[in-house]
Amino acid sequence: MNAPIKFNDGGYADVSALLTILADPAAHKARLDELVAAESAAQARIAELNAMASETRRLHSAAQATNIVSENRKKALDEREAEIAQRAEQLEQNSAKLSAASLQKRENLVAARESDLTRREAAVAKAEAQITAKHARIKDLSTSL
């Protein structure tokens, strides 16, 4: 006699599934085709998402590189702007110094001219006094003759 068959450890479920497949193979074939198509679609979607992720990483790296270049350019422009501002301030100071020096020269020239005129006036006054004195002596001499 044969020993009775015991279905334990999930064996009964497997046999039951096989029996349902054998009972209606067309429905299971359609379901299997459906699952295979779903798996193919999922794999295609995974490949598409991987490509998108790769493109995103590439674009992110490019954006980071662009940001680095942009930041370096901004730093260089800021440094250049500070240098230009400093040079403008120096030019303004030099211009102010030159302007002050120019004014001082003009003041010195005016003072020199005033001093020269004062000297000339004194010389002219002295010469006039001498001429007047000589003129008076000549009159005295001419009247005494």
Q: Each residue of 105-128: pLDDT tens digit? A: 889 999 999 999 999 999 999 999
Question: CA of 10: how far to CAs of 14, 28, 133, in Å?
Answer: 7, 21, 156
pLDDT for 3 equals 52
d(CA 88, CA 94): 10
Contact 28, 21 (CB under 8 A): yes
User: Cα–Cα distance between 33 and 14 in angstroms, integer?
Assistant: 20
Residue type, 111: A
| pTM of the model as a whole | 0.43
**Mean pLDDT calculated for residue range 131-138:** 89
